[in-house]
Structure formats: C-alpha cells, structure tokens
Chain A
C-alpha cells in the first residue's frame, strides 16, 4: 500500500509518516503543497492521499479537482483544523472522500485507513 501525505507543515508530515510506518505502511510519499503532490501522483500514484487544506502554491481543494481528473476513485482525505470543518460540506461536494481533524491521533489515522482501504492495517 502506498500513502501520500500532503501538508506544508513539515512537522505534520513527519508525525503522519511516523504514525503510518508504525501502522505498517512502508511506502509513504510526501509533498509540501498540492502542486508537488500532483506531480508525484502523475508519476507514482498513491492508494490513499491525506491532504491539508490551506497550503501555498496549490491548496488541497484545487489539488483534489486535478487528482479527480486523473483518478476519480482514489480516496482523498482532507486534514483540516477544527476551524475549517465547515468547509467539509464543500469539499465533499467537490469529491473529497473523508476528513481528519488536526491534530490527529494514531487511532484516528488508523480508522481512516481501515475505512478506505477496506481492511485493518
């Protein structure tokens, strides 16, 4: 399984990567913004994408629309602060699969992986 973490926060990417490794996900791709993520996805598609919303260069929603052109089915889970939960409705309308509130716990990340991959990790 290949998981991509998209966040402009290096700390968040590092925490997510460490948590995913602890959950048994060995192949973790990282991107600091939506544009970088899109480039990586074209060359090396992930099975699941966890993406921040507010990022420089290309935000999560714009990236999502581009990803959906390439692959309508890949699960894209938005990582959002409490304050942006209101945007979730808009995000779901745009094609986001699910959301995860920052700061996430290992259990919440595991729950989303199990839900979208279909098997516990």
Chain B
C-alpha cells in the first residue's frame, strides 16, 4: 500500500520536537537550550553518539538524537554528578533516556495520532546509517545549550490502512 503525506508528516513533528527539547532540558537539567539551525538532510552527518527511536503505529520512521562526546559528559555530570572522559554505558544510557522523553513529549503534542515509540538504541560513529522511509527527506534540527551541542534528526510518514508495521 502506498504511503502518503511524506513530507507533511515530518514537518508536523518539527515544532513539537523543538518544544520538547526546550522543555525537557529545562526539566531534566535546568538548562537553557536554543535552536540554532534547521535543515533537510539526506546524508548521515551525525555526532559521535546517536540514540535512535523507531516510530510505529500511525507513523513509520525514525527519531534520533545525536551528541558529541563533550555534551554527553556534561549531561552525565549535570544529571548524576559523575565525571566521564570516555563514552561508556552510562553515557549511552543517558542519551537514550533523553531521546525517550523528548520523543515521548513530542508525540504527546500530536494527540490525534497514535505514535508508538520503540525502545531507544544508542550507536557510536559519525557514519551510522539510519533507516528512514524511502520517500522521506529527514529533517535535522541543531541545538546549543550550556552543556554543548546536539542535533535531532527525524523522518516519518503517516501509514495508510493496510500498511504492514
């Protein structure tokens, strides 16, 4: 079955995602964060560590948060008061939890739709290939906070009845 609303579904997620990042950084870290850029991206130009959340239900797609090492160290320091100099399980776990709450908050803003979130998975490497629906051009939103830079990248399409999940 064909997928429809390829780009509008992704666009509809932009404002909820920006709001989610701002609100969650304030609640979790008491940190101000501002959006610095927004662009379409077809290449995987990620930071060192990326948390990926699969989207299902009424939508199909992926939601990612990517951060450089320094940002991860700052997050662990701020949230847990622990020093880190290498990306370890706790750093990856912290990014996964951040992805989980931000994606959860954003999807709550699309209240008329049923979006199911998969469990987040952290991967390392700038060249990681993320699976987006074939017809989707993912959106990348860059943010800057007092804990460093991060980006959110996502692409999704609304399913039509009869699509397999």
Q: Point out residues on A near B: beta carbons under 8 Å.
A: 8-12, 14-15, 18, 54-56, 80-85, 102-103, 105
Residue among A9, A82, A84, A85 having the largest count of chain B Cβ atoms under 10 Å = A82
A14 to B77, CA, bound (A): 13
Known: A54-B117, A54-B119. A84 touches B104 (CB 8 A): yes
Across-interface contacts of B106 in A (CB, < 8 A):
83
Across-interface contacts of A10 in B (CB, < 8 A):
89-90, 93
Name the one of A9, A82, A102, A105 contacting B93, with C-beta atoms under 8 angstroms. Answer: A9
Instruction: Please state if A11 and B119 are interface contacts (CB–CB under 8 Å).
Output: no
Known: A15-B80, A83-B104. A9 touches B96 (CB 8 A): yes
Known: A9-B93, A10-B90. A83 touches B119 (CB 8 A): no
Q: Does any Cβ of A come within 8 Å of B128's Cβ? A: no
Known: A81-B105, A84-B104. A11 touches B93 (CB 8 A): yes
Would you list 14 pairs from A and B whose C-beta atoms are within 8 A, ordered by A residue?
A: A8-B119, A9-B96, A10-B89, A10-B90, A11-B79, A11-B90, A54-B100, A81-B101, A83-B108, A83-B115, A83-B117, A103-B27, A103-B101, A105-B27
Across-interface contacts of B105 in A (CB, < 8 A):
81-83
Across-interface contacts of A11 in B (CB, < 8 A):
76, 79-80, 90, 93-94, 97
Instruction: Please state if A83 and B93 are interface contacts (CB–CB under 8 Å).
Output: no
Instruction: Please state if B97 and A14 are interface contacts (CB–CB under 8 Å).
Output: no
Q: Which residue of B lies closest to A9 (CB)?
A: B97
Minimum C-beta distance from A14 to chain B (A): 5
Q: Does any Cβ of A come within 8 Å of B9's Cβ? A: no
Q: Does any Cβ of A come within 8 Å of B103's Cβ? A: yes
Q: Does any Cβ of A come within 8 Å of B107's Cβ? A: yes
Q: Does any Cβ of A come within 8 Å of B74's Cβ? A: no
Lowest 10 CB-CB distances: which A-B pairs, in order? A81-B104, A83-B104, A83-B107, A82-B108, A9-B97, A83-B108, A82-B105, A103-B28, A11-B94, A10-B93
